[in-house]
Amino acid sequence: MALEDAKTEVDGAFTRRDTRGLAYENAFGGAVSFLRRRYSKDLAGVDLAVTGVPFDQAVTHRPGTRFGPRAIREASTLQPYDPPYGWGYDPLSEFSVVDYGDLAFDYAKVADFPDALHAHIQRILAAGAGSLVLGGDHFITLPILRAHFEKFGPLRVIQFDAHSDLWADDDMSRIDHGTMMYKAVKQGYVDAANSVQIGIRTECPDYLGFNVIDAAEAHQIGPPAVADRVREIVGDAPSYLTFDIDALDPAFAPGTGTPVWGGLASWQAAAILRGLAGINLTGGDVVEVSPPYDPTGATAVAGAHVAMEIMCLYGWTRRQG
């Protein structure tokens, strides 16, 4: 850590000029942005835009994920002092990354929300930047996938989750975080046969062709084998990674709306994510962090680390040299 810089840096979310580089202001002070990146609506020359979607009106049980983006940003202030451990490169220095702020929407007009989010992600992708989203409940992935599909075609999805989110629902106007992946498949956004769900531990009558590595199997075969299988399944085609924090066992991430025991440990998730280096990642999200149910902040810390890993994966195939 650059101690001299720590004495003088503050409020880098607004004062820093460069969109690249590590940050050294005190973790406990200053204006909070994701990884101390500069807040900016200017996407010219930006490689990756991080955006928050504070929406939790599609939940089936406990709300609270509207506070997820804020909590993840705050937890992330522990990370930007050094390159991420174990990756061998520094995405914050090699790429232009900004905090694009949150999606603005009318909370009282829930039916308008999907189109608002779709247009928000469209703008990011149209500017040539990648999109990393901090949720929010898992419904938000559906409009995001729609925007990515329009640019990249049918996507191969890597979904970390306790639930398949594939429960049948042919009413495309319903807004439900348990049916959004069903709708994504039915609308052609997702190539299910070449997609994979990891950490599943709730019943699903029909996986619609998804490959499934449930939590029990992941525990049995171990992270390297899981990562190898995922890479075989998605290949080199454009892929999208969505990480529901309830993929982790409640012991590691209690702050979520629908926790299920028997999930992944933090170290397992980290090892699997790092084992995916080289996939053709178009973007990703981390969702379902619900701070009201975790006064320790551990769930938000996990969410911030997952977001960093997604950033590392996104940058891996785009590195110079």
- Exposed / middle / buried, residue 267 (Cβ in 10 Å: 0-12, 13-18, 19+): exposed
Name the token pair of 222. 């171990």
Topology of domain 3-316, CATH: Arginase; Chain A (3.40.800)
pLDDT on residue 89: 97
**47 marked ligand binding residue:** no
- Give yes or no for residue 97 having a pLDDT over 60: yes
**118 marked ligand binding residue:** no
Q: Could you tell me if 170 and 182 are in contact, meaning their C-beta atoms sit under 8 angstroms apart?
A: no
Q: Where are the domains of the chain?
A: 3-316
Instruction: Give me the mean pLDDT over the 253-279 stretch.
Output: 98
Collapse the DSSP code of 136 into the 3-class scheme (helix H, G, I; strand E, B; otherwise coil) and give the result: coil
Choose among 139, 186, 182, 175: nearest CA to 287: 139
Name the token pair of 214. 């449930």
**244 marked ligand binding residue:** yes
pLDDT on residue 164: 98
What is the rounded CA–CA span in Å between residue 250 and residue 103? 28
pLDDT on residue 205: 95
pLDDT on residue 312: 98
What is the rounded CA–CA span in Å between residue 172 and residue 49? 28
- Give yes or no for residue 3 having a pLDDT over 60: no
pLDDT tens for 164-178 read 999 999 999 999 999
pLDDT on residue 6: 75
**246 marked ligand binding residue:** yes
Q: Could you tell me if 132 and 49 are in contact, meaning their C-beta atoms sit under 8 angstroms apart?
A: yes
Choose among 119, 115, 127, 197: nearest CA to 163: 197
**236 marked ligand binding residue:** no
**206 marked ligand binding residue:** no
pLDDT tens for 281-300 read 999 999 999 999 999 999 99
The secondary element (H helix, E strand) that includes residue 133 is strand 130-135
pLDDT on residue 8: 85
C-alpha distances in Å from residue 272, one per residue of 200, 228, 298, 313: 15, 9, 20, 11
pLDDT tens for 180-191 read 999 999 999 999
- Give yes or no for residue 1 having a pLDDT over 90: no
Q: What's the pTM? A: 0.97
